[in-house]
Amino acid sequence: MSNASSIRCLITAGPTREFIDPVRFLSNPSTGKMGYALAEAAVAAGWTVDLVAGPVALKEPDDVILYPVVSAEEMFHHVDALFDACDVLIMAAAVSDFRPVQQHAQKQKKEEASKSIEFERTIDILKTMAERKAHQTVVGFAAETDNVDASARAKLEAKGCDWIVANKVGEAGAGFAADTNKVTLIAADGSSLKIGPTTKAAIAKELIQLITPSAT
């Protein structure tokens, strides 16, 4: 196991935007707060941190290397380029699962625009990285609305992660945009630990401590 000062961590945060035309896009309510809290906690633990972040309105954390992106494809290219050098990948970003097949170069006038949009899947960054991991520890996030633990366990297995962090969206004081959260950390061996409700900063600190032993 590496000591803390030699651990390089790659974190994704925030939403992605998949543009229909220059003024309309498909996205989600992620604010990046959890991912940024994880970056700050990792820096505090002595890790080197690369942060790939979608569009957010947050102050850049001190002592991280920030890579701003917009789309899922852009996020993938940065993660792909940085993954081999990292020891831990934490995919806290809420990456869009779909994007429009056609992206118009000009704004579509509402009187003329089609009311039907064809979508295609974006690349599955988490699964793609987990499939090529060598020494890396890969941590995913599962934002669910129901059957949270079961859905998260299924995602952990399907993606090939070492850990998955499950949380229920839509509850007061948890999920997107909130400063607090409650999560369940589930390991590949089936064990789990509930954390919170507490601040996202406190959750981030505990998550970094818990996944550190797996970093090599």
Residues classed as catalytic: 28
Judge residue 62's burial from the number of C-beta atoms within 10 Å of its C-beta, 0-12 exposed, 13-18 middle, 19 or more buried. exposed
Q: Answer yes or no: are the C-beta atoms of 38 and 207 closer than 8 Å.
A: yes
DSSP state of 213: G
Please state whether beta strands 180-187 and 192-199 pair in parallel, antiparallel, or not at all (unpaired). antiparallel
162 CB-near residues (< 8 Å, 6+ apart): 137, 138, 139, 187, 188, 211, 214
Q: How many CB atoms lie within 10 A of CB 190?
A: 9
